[in-house]
């Protein structure tokens, strides 16, 4: 049992509040001997870092990571490697304009966790959302950077496939495009249209949701396990644990409900001496175990509730009130969820790689 | 870490293969003093039991449950109660026509877990799907019947809201209707139309998917926990672990991606002296913690791959082959997933009730 | 979290009460492809089974084990092997003279768990000790038989080294002697003397304690892990979880407190091209990780409180009372703890083998 | 599964190496609303801190703790309280004379974990013992300080009862004496004699072991759980996980093996309307559950292997070598293990309090 840990064997424990002293995580179970420097992690954090385009919050969060433990610079080897002991990562909080948050001390912001934290604990760090802030996802991205190194043969990539009501045209899919637009979308045409759309959302102080697709290539057949350590189960848990996520699907996902058995099941043929699936409606997972195809997962992010419009709420003292969020917020928090989704999938896969190796050898 | 256990504190471990000696589960962490008889569990198992209409498999599986431990008939009290020790439940397998399954020994059924189990373990009990058979869900339903008794103030109900491509009309929703049709659907009009549709599917040896909605009423605000024991995270894991499930969503779910921040966030007003949400797009969960509203979850079940049509596959010996499934299979496995989804939600809620009580008192 | 499960990766969950329908366990995480038949397990259970000499209880408990799941008789292989799925083991209870136990319904037996179970749960299965009965250890022995097969290069052997106040002479140690006397002691001379001593204890309806030593050979250097999955930590937990155990020590154990640093530390020298320790005061574990030497653990078993003499106690109704245990009890429960201690050490080692393989490869 | 976490519900994850950037821990599962300031923790750390007498190492380790998360200074309350979210504690490492440790890079110190870490991981942070250093116990003491606040009705106290071969006279026991001598011993007479003895050990560069007794008062009947979350099992695990500990016993411990059933079992009588045990040979635990008496645990600490005398060892390159430890080491590491043992018992008890409240209410 663990409230703030994730993973079976490759296990991350995160801590920290948005405006506390620091956030961070402890990664336990990492294999030894893996080259790891802070720069390796920083590269991924920078992708999630706010303020990189006008479509993400303009808060200044350098998100500089320090490795406190679990690595060692051994002069007999070529540099710093993991030692098999817990890797503690620390990310300081610097842009703590706590005065900005005086109003939310007493009012519960609709769509945020203010009310539920107060109902559960009777006390909460209200500054910037405290523990419920999406700032916690920086720790996930940091741990995900380590996870990737545990499974070097696996590539994990994410992309925005829907912004608000607008979906991409999948025939335009180009992974190379993802890093060339501020949306992490693989459809250059959509990116162009979305700029206009999201500018409108941003200017009127509104927000919109998004759907992210994350794909892992290079996963061999056999990772995952019945019945309650299913690969898709752990992926669903991983994605649903991300702030603002309201839905997760694998492969065809909800569309599978409308398909026939004939159309849905992926047929198999021998190709070059080994079994090859003729389609991938399963999203690379059957019976909770990887098929050797690409793992394909999508998750839906709701629009942030931090918007300019006045919304009805109540105060901690039990009075009706209105609230409006001014200041620097993401018009679409789903954009920055792309590297977070990648990190979570990498963490699940690293975890299952180690578990599989443990049980099966 | 546990491959075949689910839950933090109210914890179920299931075992058994479709055509082995028996299936069952051990429920650990159940509070003491709860009245519990086999009949209480049997009532829920009977709802899942096959052969109750022409739309479910005609296999004979009486699914009679025995309680092996963890209860005690104390003459000083009014009957049999839980003792706080592990409750072991056993369900014998009786209709083991193992000869039916000779063909699948060597051929991997597309859409089933045959290939992945073989790839992972190098050996598998192929009879009836072995461990990957949906028969395992009987153990979930049994454990779920106990979970309901742990949280007597909570009502958990499920319903089919989509059959193949056909959705219900939500304005027809009547919980009373759910037990009056063979689909567990709350829309009487849809039930009538679906009979015709599913007869067609069944007669041509095909199959279709479904979407199930499960709703829990009576959950107080405050259950769940940041960050990796989120209530919605555990619900997503619970549902995605059910056989053939490919997607899970909470509240608005994927539709939230297309909503604006103004429309999506549930506003709050004081009503009768306490906060009341004016809508429930969140599905009763904010920041991983219950809001006090209804918990609303939907999951998509793919069409079973056990169909009459010839499908391309390969053999364990690495040769191309065709396969067709004759015999007694559900045209829509999603129907019998309704009581399974209910059970899983009840288990998650009982678990979080105990965890919340442990940490917060 | 798990009240009735043990192990990280090779994980056993036990269930059942002394006089309930059955006891048993579910072993999860076992590697696939390991030959396993009920007879393999039965051989170890028979060693623990009561009634084999006049020095153990004369209750008739055949302790016949059935494998319900997790193995498969595959005609393409040489017989029944594990499949990697949960192995459920069932041992029926047959000698249920429940009437014998009417008295202990209302009186708390001193030295037994009657009072504490009642204080905790408010209800208990008092028949034969219910869940707190040493009968539960049969499930451990069964799981231990499987664990041994997971680590075929490791030999785990146990021996009685002290009976009541009488210690063996270690210069007489002969492993071959262990199975030739009713005490599982390696000192033939002690065995002869102990017969006289224990006959006296038995005839006067008294009881005595014992110290058991368990030794594992063939464990390579490197199993175990810092800081809270230390090999010695898990061994201590394993042994202290056995009924009536009050102390555990590794290597020199408590005697190490009186040794000097010079005498205690095991020196090392190269022998045949690899490091060899010149002594084994550490009991084969340094820093929680195996050294490659023999793992040596001892644990102390208290005398059973089931004795003929009248003892002072109280009733559930809060009145003073006296109690005396007639009937068929072990004069020294420590004797039958030998195979239990072996099983627990085998389980810990199998678990750590899998964990080590998972993390380090 | 977790290599570096301890506890079920009140759960501590520690990280850090002796000479790395910092050590620390994350405490998860702590109830909300508990007043907690760094000073509260510091007081306990200072007790463990080295350099307080000539009998502990003269290394300068201020061990100043910072709370990074999980508390909140709420102006509406009387100060800083826990929020129910993870409490991260950081203790910087300041006295890093890494050059002192050049020799141990290549030589395995007998009795230390150098060889086993190298054998397991193939790499290790050799500076000051790295992860295997007793410095990690500072994190335990810090977490233990929080645990004490979770169970304010419980008092946990530790004392040295044996130094090298010299035991205290229990008739001299005076808890008030414990903080008046450099040994944390309750026997003033022993303290005087031990000064002479330990000065001799120290001056000749040798070391000795110790036995520590930790006692918890105020624990109600009912904490603990069958079968693998037994209170004594978790205590045994807690103590055996402390560096250099080789044995653990509860109540009579190993002496119970030599007692008769008549002498060992604690009889009960009604006193002032409730059951009272007439002795406490059980050490406050029966069947893994607390009896309401004092919990009494003892553990043995081996003499440190960091001694002046030349000892035989081998190098990482596989050559015979001699090694001698100069510099600032504790002649008896058991002394500073007293606050560590207290912390571990407090952690186990806080954990079981929460678990009991969760399951039983």
Question: From the CB of residue A94, how many other CB atoms can be counted at a distance below 10 Å?
Answer: 12
Q: Is the pLDDT of residue D180 over 60?
A: yes
Best CA proximity match to C158, nearest among C267, C25, C47: C47
Best CA proximity match to B88, nearest among A90, D110, C89: C89
- Reported as a single tens digit per residue, the pLDDT across D275-326 is 999 999 999 999 999 999 999 999 999 999 889 999 999 999 999 999 998 8
Q: What is the pLDDT of residue D187?
A: 98
Work out the average pLDDT over A247-254: 98
What confidence category does residue D348 fall into, taking pLDDT thresholds of 50, 70 and 90? Answer: very high
D222 touches chain B (CB under 8 A): no
What confidence category does residue D32 fall into, taking pLDDT thresholds of 50, 70 and 90? Answer: very high
Q: Do B86 and C125 touch (CB under 8 A)?
A: no
- Reported as a single tens digit per residue, the pLDDT across B190-246 is 999 999 999 999 999 999 999 999 999 999 999 999 999 999 999 999 999 999 999
Q: What is the pLDDT of residue B239?
A: 98
Collapsed DSSP state (helix, strand, coil) of residue A216: strand
Q: What is the mean pLDDT of chain C?
A: 94
D13 touches chain A (CB under 8 A): yes
Q: What is the pLDDT of residue C2?
A: 82
Q: Which of B116, B120, B269 sits opposite A314 (nearest CB)?
A: B269
Q: Do D26 and A26 touch (CB under 8 A)?
A: yes
- Reported as a single tens digit per residue, the pLDDT across D223-263 is 999 999 999 999 999 999 999 999 999 999 999 999 999 99
Q: What is the mean pLDDT of chain D?
A: 94
Bigger pLDDT: C52 vs B80: B80
Q: Do B123 and C81 touch (CB under 8 A)?
A: yes
Distance in angstroms (rounded) separating the CA atoms of residues A325 and A306: 5
Best residue in B226, B243, B253, B319 to probe A by mutation, most A CBs within 10 Å? B226
Q: What is the pLDDT of residue D59?
A: 66
Q: What is the pLDDT of residue A326?
A: 81
B221 touches chain A (CB under 8 A): yes
Report how many Cβ contacts below 8 Å link chain A to chain B: 387
Q: Do A360 and C226 touch (CB under 8 A)?
A: no
What backbone phi and psi angles, to 5 degrees, belong to B45? -60, -40
> What is residue B282's DSSP assignment?
T
Work out the average pLDDT over D62-66: 92
D35 touches chain A (CB under 8 A): no
C68: exposed, middle or buried (Cβ count in 10 Å: 0-12, 13-18, 19+): buried
Longest dimension (CA), chain C: 71
Which D-chain residues 92-121 have CB contacts (< 8 A) with chain C? 108, 110-113, 115-117, 119-121
Dihedral sign for Cα atoms in the order D171, D172, D176, D180: negative
Q: Is the pLDDT of residue C97 over 80?
A: no
Work out the average pLDDT over C303-329: 91
Q: Do A228 and B292 touch (CB under 8 A)?
A: no
Which H or E run contains B300? strand B295-301
Q: Is the pLDDT of residue B99 over 90?
A: no
Chain A residues touching residue C29 (CB < 8 angstroms): 359
Peptide bond into C347 cis (omega under 30): no
CA distances from B215 to B170, B173, B346 (A): 14, 13, 10
Chain D residue with Cα closest to A30: D3
The residue assigned the tokens 């002796």 is: D18
Chain D residues touching residue B85 (CB < 8 angstroms): 226
Q: Which of B1, B29, B32 sits opposite D1 (nearest CB)?
A: B1
Q: Which of D31, D354, D361 sits opposite B31 (nearest CB)?
A: D361
Q: Is the pLDDT of residue D159 over 90?
A: yes
Token pair listed for B171: 């304005």
Q: Is the pLDDT of residue C294 over 60?
A: yes
Lowest-confidence segment of A316-325, B92-101, B269-278 by average pLDDT: B92-101
Q: Is the pLDDT of residue C104 over 90?
A: no
Chain C residues touching residue D250 (CB < 8 angstroms): 240, 246-247
- In C29-154, where do the E strands start and end? 65-67, 71-74, 79-82, 87-92
Chain A residue with Cα closest to B107: A268
Which A-chain residues 54-73 have CB contacts (< 8 A) with chain D? 66-70, 72
Sheet holding D87-92, edge to edge: D5-6, D11-15, D22-28, D87-92, D65-67
Q: What is the pLDDT of residue B1?
A: 66
- Reported as a single tens digit per residue, the pLDDT across B233-264 is 999 999 999 999 999 999 999 999 999 999 99
Q: What is the pLDDT of residue A59?
A: 66
Name the percent of chain B lying above pLDDT 70. Answer: 96
Dihedral sign for Cα atoms in the order A164, A168, A173, A177: negative
Q: What is the pLDDT of residue A97?
A: 60
Q: Do C309 and D269 touch (CB under 8 A)?
A: no
Q: What is the pLDDT of residue A329?
A: 77
Q: What is the pLDDT of residue C190?
A: 98
Chain C residues touching residue B358 (CB < 8 angstroms): none
Q: What is the pLDDT of residue D56?
A: 75
Dihedral sign for Cα atoms in the order D353, D357, D360, D361: positive
What confidence category does residue A122 fall into, taking pLDDT thresholds of 50, 70 and 90? Answer: very high
Q: Is the pLDDT of residue A98 over 60?
A: no
Q: What is the pLDDT of residue D50?
A: 72
Question: From the CB of residue C165, how many other CB atoms can be counted at a distance below 10 Å?
Answer: 13
Chain B residues touching residue C69 (CB < 8 angstroms): 15-17, 20-23, 131
Chain D residue with Cα closest to C281: D111
- Reported as a single tens digit per residue, the pLDDT across A204-230 is 999 999 999 999 999 999 999 999 999
Work out the average pLDDT over B27-48: 95
Best residue in A24, A67, A85, A129 to probe D by mutation, most D CBs within 10 Å? A85
Token pair listed for D233: 């099992």
Which H or E run contains A231? helix A231-240
What confidence category does residue C327 fall into, taking pLDDT thresholds of 50, 70 and 90? Answer: confident
Nearest CA distance, B350 vs chain C (angstrom): 15
Q: State the helix-helix crossing angle for A114-121 and B333-360, rounded to 10 degrees.
A: 60
Chain A residue with Cα closest to C33: A360
Bigger pLDDT: C53 vs D336: D336
Work out the average pLDDT over B286-293: 98
Q: Do B358 and D360 touch (CB under 8 A)?
A: no
B287 touches chain D (CB under 8 A): no
B262 touches chain A (CB under 8 A): yes
A196: exposed, middle or buried (Cβ count in 10 Å: 0-12, 13-18, 19+): exposed
Chain C residues touching residue A32 (CB < 8 angstroms): 359-360
Work out the average pLDDT over D102-124: 93
Chain B residues touching residue C21 (CB < 8 angstroms): 66-69
Q: Which of D246, D256, D260 sits opposite C249 (nearest CB)?
A: D246
Chain B residues touching residue C74 (CB < 8 angstroms): 123
Distance in angstroms (rounded) separating the CA atoms of residues D43 and D25: 17
Q: What is the mean pLDDT of chain A?
A: 94
Touching partners of D (3+ C-beta pairs < 8 Å): A, B, C
- Reported as a single tens digit per residue, the pLDDT across D40-51 is 999 999 988 876
Q: What is the pLDDT of residue C95?
A: 64
Bigger pLDDT: A77 vs A126: A126
Chain B residues touching residue D88 (CB < 8 angstroms): none
Best residue in B25, B106, B120, B351 to probe A by mutation, most A CBs within 10 Å? B120
Q: Is the pLDDT of residue C98 over 60?
A: no
Q: What is the pLDDT of residue D300?
A: 98
DSSP B149-215: HHSTT-EEEEEEEEETTEEP-GGG--GGGGGGSTT--S-HHHHHHHHHHHHHHHHTT--B-EEEEEE
Name the percent of chain B lying above pLDDT 90. Answer: 87
Work out the average pLDDT over C191-202: 96
Q: What is the mean pLDDT of chain B?
A: 94
Q: Do A358 and C358 touch (CB under 8 A)?
A: yes
Nearest CA distance, C96 vs chain B (angstrom): 14
Q: What is the pLDDT of residue B77?
A: 67
C15 touches chain B (CB under 8 A): yes
Q: What is the pLDDT of residue A282?
A: 98
Token pair listed for A265: 């099941």
Lowest-confidence segment of A61-65, B323-327, C52-56 by average pLDDT: C52-56
B83 touches chain C (CB under 8 A): yes
- Reported as a single tens digit per residue, the pLDDT across A176-189 is 999 999 999 999 99
Q: Which of C4, C250, C291 sits opposite D246 (nearest CB)?
A: C250
Q: Is the pLDDT of residue B46 over 60?
A: yes
Chain C residues touching residue B17 (CB < 8 angstroms): 69-70, 72, 83, 85
Q: Do B31 and D359 touch (CB under 8 A)?
A: yes
Q: Do A31 and C355 touch (CB under 8 A)?
A: no
Work out the average pLDDT over A101-119: 91
Name the percent of chain A lying above pLDDT 90. Answer: 87
């Amino acid at each position: 049992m663990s409230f703030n840990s994730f993973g079976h064997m490759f296990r991350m424990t995160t801590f920290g509040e948005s405006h506390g002293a620091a956030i961070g995580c402890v990664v336990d179970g990492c294999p030894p001997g893996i080259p790891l420097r802070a720069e390796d992690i920083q590269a991924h954090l920078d992708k999630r870092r706010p303020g990189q385009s006008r479509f993400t919050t303009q808060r200044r969060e350098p998100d500089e990571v320090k490795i406190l433990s679990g690595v060692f610079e051994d002069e007999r080897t070529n540099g710093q490697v993991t030692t098999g002991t817990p890797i503690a990562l620390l990310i300081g909080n610097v842009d703590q304009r706590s005065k900005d948050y005086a109003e939310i001390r007493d009012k519960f912001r609709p769509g945020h966790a203010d009310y539920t934290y107060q109902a559960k604990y009777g006390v909460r760090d209200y500054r910037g959302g405290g523990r419920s802030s999406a700032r916690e996802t920086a720790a996930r991205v940091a741990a995900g950077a380590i996870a990737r190194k545990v499974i070097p043969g696996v590539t994990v990539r994410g992309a925005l496939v829907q912004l608000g009501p607008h979906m991409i045209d999948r025939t335009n899919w180009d992974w190379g495009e993802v890093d060339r637009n501020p949306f992490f979308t693989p459809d250059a045409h959509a990116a162009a249209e979305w700029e206009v759309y999201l500018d409108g959302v941003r200017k009127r102080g509104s927000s919109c949701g998004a759907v992210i697709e994350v794909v892992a290539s290079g996963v061999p057949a056999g990772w995952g396990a019945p019945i309650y350590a299913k690969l898709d189960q752990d992926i669903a848990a991983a994605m649903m644990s991300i702030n603002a996520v309201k839905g997760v699907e694998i492969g065809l996902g909800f569309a599978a409900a409308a398909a026939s058995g004939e159309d849905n099941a992926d047929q198999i043929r021998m190709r070059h001496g080994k079994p090859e699936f003729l389609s991938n409606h399963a999203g690379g997972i059957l019976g909770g175990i990887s098929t050797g195809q690409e793992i394909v997962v999508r998750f839906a992010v709701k629009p942030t509730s931090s918007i300019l419009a006045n919304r009805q709420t109540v105060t901690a003292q039990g009075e009706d009130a209105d609230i409006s969020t001014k200041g620097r917020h993401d018009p679409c928090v789903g954009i920055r969820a792309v590297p977070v989704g990648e990190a979570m999938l990498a963490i699940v896969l690293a975890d299952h790689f180690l578990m599989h190796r443990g049980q099966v050898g």
